[in-house]
Structure formats: C-alpha cells, structure tokens
Structure 1
Amino acid sequence: MTDTAQNGTGWVLGVDSGGSGLRVALAPVPTGTESAADALPAEEARADTAVSRTPVRTGADGIDAAHLMEQLVPMACALLGETGGDGHIEAVAIGAAGMATLGDDLRARLPGSLFEAFGVRKLALAADAVTAYAGALGQRPGAVVAAGTGMIALGTEGKRWHRADGWGHLLGDCGGGAWIGRAGLDAALRDFDGRRGGSAALRSGAEEFFDGPVGELPGKLYPRTDRPAVLASFVPEVVRCAEAGDPVAVGILRAAALHIAEAAAAVCPPETECQVALTGGLFGIGDLLLVPLKEELSGQLPRARAVPAEGNPLDGAVVLASALALDALALPDDGRLLHLPEATG
C-alpha cells in the first residue's frame, strides 16, 4: 500500500515485541486537542488485538527486522480488514525488548519496509521500558518501574530519559523475578550447606519444585539458555514460604522492595512531586511486596506519589503512535531508548 492509495479512516498501529511473541493493536487517530495523544483509546474504538506467539528472532545484527515484518504485515492487514479495509495507517510505534542495544537492524530497515508496505512516514522505535512508561503515565513527567522477570526504572522531566537498572539477571535487574528466585535458591543452598541465612522451608520447596536434591541444581540450571525465566519461576515458592511465615522468604521480598524503591528514586525527576507508576507481573505478588515497597518509597521519595498504571506496554505503543499522528510527541528522542527516524518516501 502506498500513500497514493490512502483514503478513509486514519489509524495508528502499536506493536509490542518481547520474549513471549508479538502483539499488535490498531486504533483510530485521536481527534480533538493535542491532549488526546496522552490518552488510551477506548476499548470499543480499538480493533481487536492480533497476537503471535513466535518471538522475533535475534541474530548477529540484533533484532531481525525482516522477521518482524514477516509477522507484522499480515497481522496489520488482518486488523485493517476487520475495520472494513478502507482506512490507512498514519503512524506506527514499535516497542521491543532490547531495542536500545539490539535495535540496529530495526533502525536501519524498518522505516523503508513500513513505507513500502503501508505508506507510513511516521515511525517511533522504542525500548519496551519506554512503551511501558507511555502506557502507565502517557506523556506526563514522572517515573515508571517495570518489573517482571527483570526490573527497570525509567523517568523523565520531559527533556531526557533517566534510567536505572535493567542490566539483566547477571549484572542487575535487582528486585525483579529472576533476582527473587535466585535469592530463594541461594537460601535453599545455604540451608543445604549449613551456612547462615539458610531456609529449610525454601530448601524443601526447591527440592519439590525442581524434583531432586538442591545439590543437583547447578547441573539443572547452568546448561539452560532460559535461566532468567527458570529463576523467576521459583518466585511463587518464595511467596508461598513468606505467606507461611518463613522469615528468610519475608526478608527476600523486603530486600526486593528496597532495590525497586532505590531504582525509582534514581530516576524520579528532581524538585518535583514525582508520580511513580508500577507496572508488570511481579507486582501481582501483592502486599508481601507492595507494603514494604510503599514504605521504602515513602522514606526514599517523600515527594513522590504512587499512582496506578493506566495501561500496559502495548497501550503505550498506541499512545506513542497517536502522538506521532498528531505531531504531538513530547517524550525525549534520544536515538536509542526512543528513536524517531526521518520520514521515508
């Protein structure tokens, strides 16, 4: 589709690419004031979301642009078809895990590919932390902590991005799911060795969960290529032990809360009553994590105000695309966390 064929309703396309696959949402271009670029589209206004369970490949050049387009084009065409097929896509925003460090191929090839496929001239390429931010807070200044298997905090006053952690399970992601799971297994092995800080409850839970003595864990974990996910899979057992009153498990969750609050404090814009939104599956743990986290936030960020996240990263991609369509994008373009290629065609 080229721009000469564009007519009918204008649409924006939001894309969320991660380890579990690709999600795509189509929404009409907002009407009215520029503040519409901050708002999530009403569910009834959005076309059905398309989902692929196949993650986009990563190769020597980073995230594979051709593989992303191979999945994205038929998904977008199907969504357009559901609207009657007489509209055109005005802007696209793609949020991808690893965009900042693995996005060179996307930055080089997607502008031309999307213009060729849909006539799109307005494109934003964002790290998944940026789409998480936009989904949670729109374009308002503040800070967002995104925590699942990993953990990253991102904040802005509107001029530049402030990032804390998100360095992966070997170097950081402190307080995230893989970190909690590893801490739980460390406590299990400490009990096995007879060292201080061990937990018999976590050792028993680990032996049941991994079906064998904890002394066999290195052989089961180290050869795995999905170690972060395997470590995070032990989080429910840590939570179960904490609910049962195990002090070591309770301490692990309190330590996670401390790390998360430290990351939020590092990225909150100074001299403001910073809004802090929490997003991601880890916060589904509930009060065992949230109560100490709110205590830590209150102590470290007395000027901060915790607010609920308005939406998820896919919603954030739609917010970015809507802002592009309205020429109202206010979030910082730093070339890596958020990249706005020059118009193609």
Structure 2
Amino acid sequence: MNDRTGTFALLDGGKSGLRLRIDGPDGRYDGAGAGFTYEPGADDVAMIVAAVRQAHKASGHRGTVDRVCGGLTGATAEQAGRCRLTDALSAVFGGAPVTIVDDGVPAHAGALDGPGVLICAGTGTVAIGVADDGRWSRADGWGPLLGDRGSGYAIGRAGLAAALAATDGTGPPTALAEPAADHLGGMDLPAVQRLMGSAAPTVRISAFAPAVVTAAGRCDPVAGAILAAAADDLARTAAAAGRRCGLSPSSTPVSVAGRLFLAGEALLAPLRRALDHHGLRLVGSRADALTGALRLAQRPAATPYHRVVAGEPPLISAWPTTD
C-alpha cells in the first residue's frame, strides 16, 4: 500500500470527548464517542476502547481499515499499557496497524504542519514543540492535580474559588457569584460536597470556564484577572516547550488548538501579549487534529514528525525559567 493511499482511521480524544474519522477512497465517515475521565481504579484502556467502539458505530463505516493513527489525551505512558491499548484498538479495526502518538502531536501537525509550538488546551493543557530536524518536546500535560496550568479546569476552578471567596467576604465582589451558584446548585458546603463527590468533578469544574469568559467580557475585574493569569501560564508553557527542542523564539510560530480557545479574543488577546513577552508570535491554525492525524498516517517518515511517529521520546532536559 502506498502511504498516501488506503483507508485510515483517525483518532482525536481527551476528557471532553473522542472524535473518529474514517478517510479513504470510499469517502469520509465521522463519529464521536465519550471522553476519558480516568477515575481512580478505572481501566483506562477499556474506557478508551469503549469510546472508540462507540464512535466507530456512530460513523456508519463498515469497510476495512488499512491503518489507525491518532492522539489520545492521558493514554497510558507505560509500555505494557500502551501495547495493550494498541492491540485492543487494532482488534476494533480488523487487525489494522495502530500508531498512537503523544497527545497534541496530531493537532500540531494539523495546525502548523512544520516546526513550531502548539498550545493544546481544553480541560487540560499541553504544549508540543517540534524542531526542523524532528526533535520534539512537551511541557505540562501533568493533569489537574499537578499541572494543566492555564487550562479550562484551572480557569473554572479559579472562577469557582473566586465566587466562593466573594461569598465568604475573603475576596472581592465578582459577577461570578451568581453563575457559580447556578453551576453548583447553591453556595454552601453541601453544594461543594456534591460537586466533589460527582462522577467527573474535573470535567464539571472545567465546565465553569465559559462563565469566567462571559464575566470577563462584561468587564468583571476578577474574571479578567483570571483569564490574564491563564494566558501568562499558557505562554510560559509554550516558551518552555520551544526552548526544550531548541527552537529560536524570534522565528518560532505558536498556534493553538482545543475547546478552551472557543473563548476567542477574550483569551487570545491576553495570550498574544503574554507570548510577545517571551518573543513568540501567535499564528492561525491551518487545520484540525484529525487532518494532522491523516498527514501522520499517510507520511509517517516525513519531516519533522518522523521521530515522534517512530516512537522517539520527547526531550525532557531542564531549562532555566525566563519570565
């Protein structure tokens, strides 16, 4: 089979949901599946495979697939778990070979199609840097407890915390108090306990981020400060990813992908300012993650993504922080 021909199953999945596209000579088929919450004790591989099966069924595609390629946020990094995942996904698609790359890489290939840094932010955050020679790096992506700075979760949490602080009188008044009460079902301890005891508290907290964006757009200073802080965090993460793989700030394009950026200029405007502080420039996205996954599937040996597709790990050298 020529790398550019055949039928490809393309995956893009994370906490918010999974997208599947079957692309081949017979046409394009799209389907969607559930997101991955990664609750303690859950079988991550089984959860991902169930979502892929759901999306495959919804797509309506019933033919054969020649190759599977995509990125899955939070997919196990352990070799044994990764092998189990690829074997299970191969079985879903009739034994087709499977390439699962680091989350954010297909989005990078779609958005930039070459060297640069991609900030991928939804419920979580990761920045992927790729150099001309294929060296690549990632920054953050550590999850809500230890990382995901500037993410939808971070914004939602900061917004809810600010609303509760305003209710206590320990923080300034904010327009976030009313939407927070609606989101939580009250502004008391039982409401917060219900949130923390829910099936997916991380996703529910992240779902408050649009309310913060709305309040910032109405000139609420507390919400505006939260978005400005998130933009600073995202810019530092992007700068770190670029430094790690040797990209020069003066010539490094930075693009964005993910549901968080549906906020539009409310977040992009402070992000441009924050990136400029690091000597970085924001550029528009060429295409989405599924288009990027198709590129990786069709041309796995093409630069600059050949190293990551071949399984080379990201550069993890420590670099000095510059603010």
Superposition TM-score, scaled by structure 1 size: 0.75
Q: Paired residue for 1:270?
A: 247
Tell me how far 1:175 sits from its aligned partner: 0.9
Q: Paired residue for 1:243?
A: 217
Tell me how far 1:316 sits from its aligned partner: 2.0
> In the superposition, relative to structure 1, how do residues 204 and 118 fare at CA in structure 2: closer, same or farther (>3 Å)?
closer
Q: Is the 8 A contact 2:184 2:192 kept in 1?
A: no
Q: Does 1:163 align with 2:127?
A: no
Q: Paired residue for 2:203?
A: 229
> In the superposition, relative to structure 1, how do residues 292 and 48 fare at CA in structure 2: closer, same or farther (>3 Å)?
same
Q: Is the 8 A contact 2:31 2:56 kept in 1?
A: no
Any idea what the Cα deviations from partners look like across 1:293-327, whole Å, max 9, x if unmatched?
A: 10111111x2x332212222222221111113xx4
Higher relative contact order (CA 8 A, sep 6+): 1
SS in 2 for 1:308: coil
How far, CA to CA, are the matches of 1:57 and 1:233 in structure 2?
A: 14
How far, CA to CA, are the matches of 1:206 and 1:26 in structure 2?
A: 40
> In the superposition, relative to structure 1, how do residues 80 and 330 fare at CA in structure 2: closer, same or farther (>3 Å)?
farther
> In the superposition, relative to structure 1, how do residues 210 and 69 fare at CA in structure 2: closer, same or farther (>3 Å)?
closer
Identify the match of residue 16 of structure 1 among 4, 12, 24. Answer: 12
| Structure of larger gyration radius | 1
How far, CA to CA, are the matches of 2:96 and 2:239 in structure 1?
A: 38
Counterpart residue identity of residue 318, structure 1: L
Q: Which moved more, 1:177-186 or 1:269-278?
A: 269-278
Q: Which runs of 5+ in 2 are unaligned?
A: 315-323
Q: Is the 8 A contact 1:188 1:214 kept in 2?
A: no
Superposition TM-score, scaled by structure 2 size: 0.80
Q: Does 1:314 align with 2:290?
A: yes
Q: Paired residue for 1:136?
A: 111
Q: Does 1:297 align with 2:275?
A: yes
SS in 1 for 2:199: coil
Counterpart residue identity of residue 134, structure 2: K
Q: Is the 8 A contact 1:99 1:126 kept in 2?
A: no
How far, CA to CA, are the matches of 1:225 and 1:260 in structure 2?
A: 28
> In the superposition, relative to structure 1, how do residues 65 and 229 fare at CA in structure 2: closer, same or farther (>3 Å)?
closer
> In the superposition, relative to structure 1, how do residues 336 and 222 fare at CA in structure 2: closer, same or farther (>3 Å)?
farther
SS in 2 for 1:253: helix
Q: Is the 8 A contact 2:31 2:58 kept in 1?
A: no
How far, CA to CA, are the matches of 1:112 and 1:287 in structure 2?
A: 41
Q: Paired residue for 2:46?
A: 64
Q: RMSD of the alignment, in Å?
A: 3.4
Q: Is the 8 A contact 1:50 1:75 kept in 2?
A: no
Q: Paired residue for 2:23?
A: 27
How far, CA to CA, are the matches of 1:75 and 1:92 in structure 2?
A: 16
Identical-pair percentage: 33
Q: Which runs of 5+ in 1 are unaligned?
A: 29-44, 82-87, 339-345
Q: Does 1:283 align with 2:238?
A: no
Q: Is the 8 A contact 1:146 1:152 kept in 2?
A: yes
Any idea what the Cα deviations from partners look like across 1:229-269, whole Å, max 9, x if unmatched?
A: 11111112212222222111111111111001111111114
How far, CA to CA, are the matches of 2:221 and 2:160 in structure 1?
A: 15
